[in-house]
Structure 1
């Protein structure tokens, strides 16, 4: 069973060689996303905006090299889009994690039938999201292959989720993951990466431990995870 090896940068493909369709298509095709139309749209949005931000990053690098100084407005724009993209990805992956956890707990405790009954009691024929949730619960209850695939997908996605969580906690919460009293020195301050133009941030892991990370690192690792999942389906 192949697992994702997290890469933290230094090996960036030129923008014309990046297959941007991987995130846009493969993320929304994962279990939990593919048969929930609105959740799938959220996942697809992550891939739709990725090439635009990547282009902004390379444009920032070109302007930086040309002017030989940091172009403030362009850098702030890249920083803003990068953080919004990370926050959106965090919510999409967090929902996957929470649903896997909730379904697994219900399955182990024999609570799926009660949950299905609760959903039926609130049934709304126009609520497509509710119908999708019921179908997923029923399949999780009845199909061992489905449960195994959920677990396998999360093995690949979890390392990416942890990168996103680290990024998001530093930027949005001004703290290290799981350590609210560990406060980063300069949350939101990034430097232009000399290879891809993304903003490199020093993200606090613990009180005295930092990780250098940029948005492009996260996008590349997400693509790698999705390719591993795709290969496992063949």
Structure 2
């Protein structure tokens, strides 16, 4: 018999109670995002679209209750938006994780100067390249910057693992790192009767599942960003 692990305690704020500015504002001011104009814009996009999807989720729930049956079009719309949001969040978090790993490896191996030499400075119009050089230079020179990155990743990693689980189940039809653990119905979700988001049974291994929805991820991300703000690790 499969084991199902519930990912949320069950308390969801109403639409009007949610502070949607947390993701839209705080996320883009994390290290790496705040010093990279276009990467910061991608992080901000996660927060900009979150209230729209949340509203769709609550409308789905209201319609379901009113009609006493699943409204197919609304459910498919919420499912599509939810998966696209998860995929986008996964990519922005994975880039953050990979850059942290790359910079840390270069620092430990004494390879930052060599890497900087390989990053061309000929194209002064390439803002992304210039930002990358500045970040790498700062990483090599500033211990507090390195400490901030490590602290933020400690906070972000649990959210990243949630998103990774979602992404692997939906996009790869497998569990993370376990290609033989195949979900029964990847992408199929049931309406959560408290918030309207779609609950998915995400496979962890052959006998274990975790019950999660997009709202769980958004709420966890908000909590992480608030915790980082409270500890004054970001400006």
TM range (shorter): over 0.9
Tell me how far apart the structure 2 counterparts of residues 178 and 7 of structure 1 sit (CA, whole Å).
Answer: 20
Match of 1:30 in 2: 30
Matched, 1:221 2:220: yes
Matched, 1:77 2:77: yes
8 Å CA contact retained: 1:9, 1:217? no
8 Å CA contact retained: 1:7, 1:221? no
CA root-mean-square deviation: 1.2
Tell me how far apart the structure 2 counterparts of residues 14 and 156 of structure 1 sit (CA, whole Å).
Answer: 25
| Structure 2 counterparts to residues 205-216 of structure 1, below 5 A | 205-216=204-215
- Per the normalisation by structure 2, the TM-score is 0.95
- Per the normalisation by structure 1, the TM-score is 0.96
8 Å CA contact retained: 2:7, 2:210? no
Tell me how far apart the structure 2 counterparts of residues 196 and 9 of structure 1 sit (CA, whole Å).
Answer: 12
Tell me how far apart the structure 1 counterparts of residues 17 and 198 of structure 2 sit (CA, whole Å).
Answer: 20
Matched, 1:128 2:127: yes
| Cα 1:14/1:201, change in 2 over 3 Å | same
> Shift in Å at residue 123 of structure 1?
3.3
Q: How many residues align?
A: 228
| Structure 2 counterparts to residues 4-19 of structure 1, below 5 A | 8-19=8-19
Match of 1:91 in 2: 91
Match of 1:116 in 2: 116
1:128-183 CA distance string (max 9 Å, x none)? 00000000001100000000000000000000000000000000000000111110
Match of 1:200 in 2: 199
> Shift in Å at residue 232 of structure 1?
1.2
Gaps of 5+ in 2: 1-5
> Shift in Å at residue 124 of structure 1?
1.0
Match of 1:53 in 2: 53
8 Å CA contact retained: 2:7, 2:211? no
Tell me how far apart the structure 1 counterparts of residues 151 and 165 of structure 2 sit (CA, whole Å).
Answer: 22
Match of 1:105 in 2: 105
SS of match in other structure, 1:28 = helix
Match of 2:3 in 1: none
Match of 1:167 in 2: 166
